[in-house]
């Protein structure tokens, strides 16, 4: 079987730190050198005091799969980058935080190597991603009534399932944003981090509709070597158990807005999600 996997390019690629990145076939099928970023032109720009967006990233690199093998993950550069480009083009400012202030991990194997706009973005934000703020400190000091923030942004990548869904500080931030009528933006696996908002009083997104990366697709990806094994848990299943209605069945360009939550289904949705999130924030500013 191993010989056949190598022959067809479905063998996950071993990394220097003992984990695995996607196979050659998976990279060919699921990534691209360019994106569909539409240029981010807006006829208006962010107004008023609430012009900042808090982007909460994972600082963890490895997901341990059900078979014990490690998947090299982090924040997906397209799912993170295209919405950032849209927000910045409309005059919003983005602050980067991770749970403890450790560097934000990026799935470099998914970086669109010939997309000038995305490459420039990551060069511009290199310092912020390497030395982000601390979500823990933010939760202690910045949950105020006169906050300059318009939204909390949870970028995609399987890394959103690491260290965020059970993070108490993130739970405080999400509940604060919800109570203060701020927007929350989450794409692909990013909605997994919304699980942090569950507490003894329930789940603030009970009854919401969301577009997310489907569990059924995650179940299929090991066949092409995208991951070195099956997922250790299913975030869509857990959201559904808490009363969420997932509206998409495919990893497609579906985007959705329900009250003050904006979600997107996959990397294919990144541009449309970024535009929907940005126009939504502009309309509210």
- Residue numbers annotated as active site: 188
Least Cα distance to 162 among 269, 68, 57 occurs for 57
- Give the burial string for 75-105 (b: 16+ CB within 10 Å, else e): bbbbbbbbbbbbbbbbbbebbbbbbeebebb
- Give the burial string for 117-135 (b: 16+ CB within 10 Å, else e): bbeebbeebeebbeebbbb
- Residue 15's CB is within 10 A of a number of other CB atoms, namely 15
> What residues does 225 pair with on adjacent strands?
none
How far, in Å, CA of 250 to CA of 266, rounded? 9
User: Is 59 in contact with 25 (CB distance < 8 Å)?
Assistant: no
DSSP 228: S
How far, in Å, CA of 118 to CA of 111, rounded? 8
> What residues does 97 pair with on adjacent strands?
56, 133
- The side-by-side arrangement of strands in the sheet containing 70-72 is 13-14, 20-21, 70-72, 62-64
């Amino acid at each position: 079987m191993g010989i056949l996997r190598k022959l067809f390019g479905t063998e996950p690629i071993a990394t220097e730190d003992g984990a695995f990145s996607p196979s050659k076939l998976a990279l060919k099928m699921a990534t691209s050198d360019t994106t569909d970023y539409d240029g981010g032109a807006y006829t208006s720009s962010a107004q008023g005091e609430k012009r900042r967006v808090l982007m909460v990233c994972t600082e963890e690199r490895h997901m341990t799969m059900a078979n014990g093998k490690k998947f090299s993950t982090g924040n997906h550069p397209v799912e993170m980058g295209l919405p950032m480009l849209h927000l910045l083009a409309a005059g919003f400012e983005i602050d980067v935080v991770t749970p403890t202030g450790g560097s934000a991990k990026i799935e470099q194997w998914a970086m669109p190597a010939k997309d000038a706009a995305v490459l420039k973005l990551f060069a511009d934000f290199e310092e912020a991603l390497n030395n982000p703020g601390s979500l823990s400190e933010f939760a202690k000091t910045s949950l105020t009534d006169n906050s300059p923030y318009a939204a909390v942004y949870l970028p995609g990548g399987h890394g959103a399932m690491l260290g965020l869904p059970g993070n108490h500080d993130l739970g405080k931030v999400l509940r604060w944003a919800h109570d203060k009528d701020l927007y929350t933006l989450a794409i692909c696996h990013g909605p997994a981090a919304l699980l942090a908002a569950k507490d003894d009083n329930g789940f603030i997104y009970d009854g919401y509709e969301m577009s997310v990366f489907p569990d059924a697709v995650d179940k299929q990806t090991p066949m092409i070597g995208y991951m070195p094994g099956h997922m250790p848990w299913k975030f869509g299943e857990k959201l559904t158990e808490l009363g969420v209605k997932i509206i998409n069945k495919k990893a497609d360009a579906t985007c959705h807005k329900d009250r003050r939550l904006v979600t997107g289904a996959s990397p294919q949705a990144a541009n449309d999600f970024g535009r929907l999130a940005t126009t939504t924030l502009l309309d509210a500013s």
